[in-house]
């Protein structure tokens, strides 16, 4: 149950637009003490996005979450003026808290289901780009809280999109859903963007519904030639430093390893398309940039998953996590027939993004898992927020550098899938 809405900075409907003064970047975000209001332009330091976000007003929903906090940080690195909203963070060890993200961006604590509040925020901030990541994102929680899951993921998305509609300003919108939005036939097949929506569990079904909500807003209100261009993004199983959500294999592993306990694995043979958190975020950034450049031509659904070779079973992931973490790390299989249903096989075709957006995965499975485990240790050992920011800066820089040599061959991918 969501508690009372807490506000940092006051209710936006009672504040003048100048509340959103551009935040000044320090020479290195990793050593910033706090953001200082100003009106200077910031030089984007990424060779991958060509300065497309520099000086842009970008609204990020779900900035207190795992992916949302990395996204907001990356956008600040690119010179964007970021306004983030989210519920109170669930962990004090996540990037939002550990990096003291509110000192780098505008942030307010809010629930996306508050329709009037969303409309006021968009009206005041006037975003040029929106990344909607806020969600109830846990499959097992959706069994315990199905109505809450549908309410957040479906009605919450409608409230965000309606706020954009009512504002009537030019805007590129990326709605982040999930690879689980597709009907899962438990076959050795990687779904493509035009495959049917589905969902066995409440979470998966809510993500399919979210896709339909986005499509209906695009067709009814954001027509080609209009001011708003809307796309959806579907990612695979995202892992990376700073995720402490319940009932996810990597956070569960790190909690067990830190406590000197053996990791219990529910279904070691389940296959998932594992990818580092920076992979889909890089895809979302590329998609947002394409929407700003090409408009309706790319206002569609897009998959952002790993190379097919990174689709591995959970047992293989657990083995590599234990190996990377070191002494004392171990796991054991503990299947329970009473557990809620979870898909056995998940894959995702990324040929469309590779062909039309020039996006491709950059880190293979082994690199992804090793950087994830090592990154958790680095963040946990950091003595202050500056060290956490330095680490996040270095990870993003390493990812961007890897992009200069990475390749994705759609024909080779098809041959691997058979």
What's the mean pLDDT in 141-155? Answer: 97
Q: Would residue 320 count as lying in a domain?
A: yes
Q: Residue 130's pLDDT band (boundaries 50, 70, 90)? A: very high
pLDDT digits (tens, 9 = 90+) for 286-315: 999 999 999 999 999 999 999 988 889 999
Q: Would residue 24 count as lying in a domain?
A: no
Q: Would residue 4 count as lying in a domain?
A: no
Q: Residue 61's pLDDT band (boundaries 50, 70, 90)? A: very high
User: Which residue range forms the structural domain that includes residue 126?
Assistant: 38-336+345-417
> For 286, what's the count of Cα atoms within 13 Å in the CB-facing half-sphere?
23
Polymer length in residues for the chain? 418
Q: Give the pLDDT confidence score for residue 323 in this predicted structure.
A: 95
125 within 8 A of 173, measured Cβ to Cβ: no
Q: Residue 16's pLDDT band (boundaries 50, 70, 90)? A: very low
pLDDT at 6 over 80: no
173 beta partners: 130, 230
Q: Would residue 33 count as lying in a domain?
A: no
CATH number of the domain to which 187 belongs: 3.40.50.720
Assign 323 to helix, strand or coil.
helix
Compute the CA torsion angle 146, 181, 176, 188 (nearest 10 deg): 130
pLDDT digits (tens, 9 = 90+) for 216-241: 999 999 988 899 999 999 998 999 99
Q: Would residue 220 count as lying in a domain?
A: yes
pLDDT digits (tens, 9 = 90+) for 323-338: 999 988 999 998 776 6
Give me the number of domains the chain comprises: 1
Q: Would residue 302 count as lying in a domain?
A: yes
Q: Would residue 17 count as lying in a domain?
A: no
Query: 153-167, 282-296, 377-391, 397-411: lowest mean pLDDT where?
Result: 397-411
Q: Would residue 133 count as lying in a domain?
A: yes
- Please state the separation of Cα 188 from the chain's center in Å: 26
Helices and strands, number each (H, E), in the chain: 14, 14
CA distances to 51, 65, 74, 86, 126 from 69, in Å: 20, 6, 9, 10, 21
| CA dihedral sign of residues 172, 7, 247, 207 | negative
Q: Which residue has the higher pLDDT, 10 or 71?
A: 71
pLDDT digits (tens, 9 = 90+) for 82-129: 999 999 999 999 999 999 999 999 999 999 999 999 999 999 999 999
């Amino acid at each position: 149950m969501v508690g009372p809405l807490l506000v940092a900075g006051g209710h936006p409907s009672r504040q003048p637009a100048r509340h959103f003064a551009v935040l000044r970047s320090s020479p290195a975000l990793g050593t910033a003490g706090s953001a200082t209001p100003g009106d200077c332009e910031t030089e984007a330091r990424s060779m991958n996005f060509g300065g497309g976000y520099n000086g842009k007003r970008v609204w990020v929903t779900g900035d207190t979450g795992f992916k949302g906090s990395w996204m907001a940080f990356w956008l600040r690195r690119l010179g964007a003026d970021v306004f983030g909203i989210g519920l109170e963070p669930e962990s004090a060890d996540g990037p939002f808290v550990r990096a003291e993200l509110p000192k780098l961006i505008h942030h307010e604590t809010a629930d996306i289901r508050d329709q009037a509040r969303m409309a006021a925020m968009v009206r005041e901030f006037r975003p040029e780009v929106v990344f909607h990541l806020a969600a109830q994102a846990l499959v097992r929680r959706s069994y315990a809280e199905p109505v809450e899951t549908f309410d957040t993921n479906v009605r919450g998305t409608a409230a965000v999109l309606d706020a954009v509609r009512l504002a009537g300003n030019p805007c590129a919108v990326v709605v982040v859903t999930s690879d689980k939005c597709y009907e899962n036939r438990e076959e050795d097949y990687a779904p493509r963007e035009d495959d049917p929506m589905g969902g066995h569990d409440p979470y998966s079904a809510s993500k399919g519904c979210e896709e339909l909500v986005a499509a209906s807003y695009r067709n009814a209100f954001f027509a080609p030639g209009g001011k708003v261009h809307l796309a959806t993004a579907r990612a695979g199983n995202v892992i990376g430093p700073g995720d402490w959500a319940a009932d996810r294999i990597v956070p569960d592993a790190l909690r067990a390893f830190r406590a000197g306990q053996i990791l219990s694995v529910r279904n070691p043979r389940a296959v998932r398309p594992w990818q580092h958190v920076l992979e889909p975020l890089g895809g979302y950034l590329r998609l947002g940039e394409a929407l700003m450049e090409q408009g309706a031509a790319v206002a569609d659904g897009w998959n952002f998953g790993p190379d097919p070779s990174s689709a591995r079973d959970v047992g293989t992931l657990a083995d590599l996590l234990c190996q990377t973490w070191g002494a004392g790390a171990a796991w054991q299989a503990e299947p329970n027939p009473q557990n809620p249903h979870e898909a056995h096989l998940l894959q995702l075709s990324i040929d469309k993004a590779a062909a039309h957006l020039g996006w491709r995965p950059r880190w293979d499975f082994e690199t992804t898992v090793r950087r994830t485990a090592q990154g958790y240790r680095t963040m946990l050992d950091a003595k202050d927020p500056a060290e956490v920011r330095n680490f996040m800066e270095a990870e993003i820089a390493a990812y961007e550098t890897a992009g200069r040599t990475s390749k994705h061959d759609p024909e080779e991918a098809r041959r691997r899938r058979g």
